[in-house]
């Protein structure tokens, strides 16, 4: 990244560039070269890179390893959202053990035995239970037969997942404060659906600003399009890191 101070370095004005932000950059691209370009540009400013289902299915383990390397060795959030019978999920989790992901997602709706199987298979990875997708609103949940408002469903699934061995949870920023109150301080809360003020929410139904999500108790923000669709990915990532640098952080739960 030419001409930019690296995190922790002093700039010409004597200021210290911010440390990497608690952000998982979503590498949601069909093309690996594009994803790696984003990881390279934003890597100095984010703590984590998120490899989702499309990229993983196209490029497999090599794609994950390339993303980690391009980002400068940032943590890997392997977002596969596993959901199957416990034996199958256990085998799938073991299949990615060699990648040593810091996070691996499973669907909380898969049930407690499934979550427990994943946690047992990958004890050194934070098994991260997805509660209710941020693209779903109350009407969509009702159509699926899930009673009550989204926050009630999220709290129920969060409690179930943690009891089964999940050490991290995915919830929208709208529910993060309620989930934090429900599960306590020892669980990592990951929030997608984060949008800087004034940006397009896209296909996300339950959103908030990065600053609000952190204030409400989030540990890791999943951010994709607000950074990756910027004309200058590095500048967008740096601006996000600077906006979060002054906010109080919770102590690490790892």
Point out the residues that are catalytic: 81
- Tell me the DSSP string of 149-217: -HHHHHHHHHHHHHHHT-SEEE--TTTHHHHHHHH-TTSEEEE--B--TTS--TT-SS-B-HHHHHHTT
3-state percent breakdown (helix, strand, coil) of the chain, nearest 5 = 45, 20, 40
Cβ–Cβ contacts within 10 Å for residue 31, how many?
11
Q: Supply φ then ψ for residue 51, to 5 degrees.
A: -105, 120
Contact 78, 54 (CB under 8 A): no
The H or E element spanning position 222 is: strand 220-223
The H or E element spanning position 239 is: helix 233-245
């Amino acid at each position: 990244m030419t001409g930019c101070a690296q995190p922790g370095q002093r700039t010409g004005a004597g200021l210290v560039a911010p440390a990497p932000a608690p952000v998982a950059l979503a590498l949601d691209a069909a093309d690996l070269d594009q994803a790696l370009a984003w990881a390279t540009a934003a890597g100095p400013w984010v703590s984590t890179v998120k490899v989702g289902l499309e990229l993983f299915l196209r490029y497999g383990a090599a794609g994950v390893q390339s993303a980690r390397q391009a980002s400068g060795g940032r943590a890997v959030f392997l977002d596969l959202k596993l959901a199957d019978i416990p034996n199958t999920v256990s085998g799938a989790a073991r299949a990615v053990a060699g990648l040593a992901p810091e996070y691996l997602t499973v669907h909380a709706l898969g049930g407690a035995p499934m979550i427990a199987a994943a946690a047992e298979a990958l004890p050194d990875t934070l098994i991260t239970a997805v509660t209710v997708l941020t693209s779903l609103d109350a009407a969509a949940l009702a159509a699926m037969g899930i009673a009550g408002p989204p926050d009630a469903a999220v709290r129920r699934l969060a409690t179930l997942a943690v009891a089964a061995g999940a050490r991290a949870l995915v919830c929208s920023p709208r529910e993060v404060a309620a989930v934090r109150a429900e599960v306590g301080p020892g669980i990592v809360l990951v929030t997608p659906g984060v949008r800087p003020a004034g940006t397009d929410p896209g296909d996300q139904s339950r959103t908030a600003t990065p600053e609000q999500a952190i204030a409400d108790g989030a540990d890791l923000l999943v951010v994709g399009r607000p950074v990756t669709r910027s004309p200058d990915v590095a500048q967008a990532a740096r601006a996000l890191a600077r906006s979060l640098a002054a906010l109080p952080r919770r102590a690490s739960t790892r």
